[in-house]
Amino acid sequence: MGIYAMTGGATGIGAAIKEQVRARGDQMIVVDIRDADVVADLSTPEGRAAAIAGILERTPEGLDGFVACAGLGPNNSPALVARVNYFGAVELLEGLRDALARRRGAAVIISSNSAPMSTDADYVATLLAGDEQGAVSHLEGKDGQTAYSGSKLAVARWVRRNAAAWAAQGVRMNAVAPGYITTPLSQAAAADPRYADAMKAFVGSIPVGRAGEPEDIANVVSFLLTPAASFICGSVLFVDGGHDAMFRPDQF
């Protein structure tokens, strides 16, 4: 039986990943703000430390895999988006690195196909520098989409920058970049008058002709956690119905 942990397993993509991993007979420890194996608030340093401690207490033999899935959409406070989407992912991965190395595990971060749409280079650089307060201060007066797309670009770059060093310890690390997926998070954004028209147009332009479902992302994440994906390392895999190819045909 494999031993896995994840953040954000209560609903949407996270719930689908949790269900798939458990259905194949593996253990999946879930961190979330409520109704989870480890209850912790990833928007605070104390909450992240508690999440790491809670996972390590339950996995003294190490981890076969970890999925950083917890995230907030652009309809939330920009400061909370930065704290949860970037620091809530990166700090947990760093805290679990040795546990993953012990079992030559795999790590997956959920990014987004909104990442290449980020236009605030200074914000992304501040995140990657690990300056949480600086990132939050930088977002004052900015909108949620700036915070969201920048946070997702930053986690993808963090994966790319660290993948080789982690692989040397035996840990494969990749990012998955979903497009529009029908989840409570996306539905909340679609219901927000600030984003409703843009979201509707976005869904209508998906090349394969439909919105994604949580299982579409879970299928890919579950695969990346297995030995069948043992030569995939440092990738940012777009699972978005063809949107990224349509938007950026000459960039890959």
Q: State the catalytic residues.
A: 148
What lies within 8 Å, CB to CB, of 150 at 6+ separation is 82, 118, 120, 123, 124, 127
In three-state secondary structure terms, 238 is strand
CA distance 68 to 175: 9
Yes or no: say if 182 and 116 are a contact pair by the CB < 8 Å rule: no
CA distance 89 to 152: 10
Q: How many CB atoms lie under 10 A from the CB of residue 168? A: 9
Yes or no: say if 139 and 82 are a contact pair by the CB < 8 Å rule: yes
State the Cα torsion 245-208-222-27 to the nearest 10°: 130
What secondary structure letter does DSSP report for 86? Answer: I
CA neighbor of 108 nearest in space, from 183, 211, 20, 203: 20
* Token duo for residue 101: 């190395």
Yes or no: say if 37 and 58 are a contact pair by the CB < 8 Å rule: yes
CA distance 112 to 151: 9
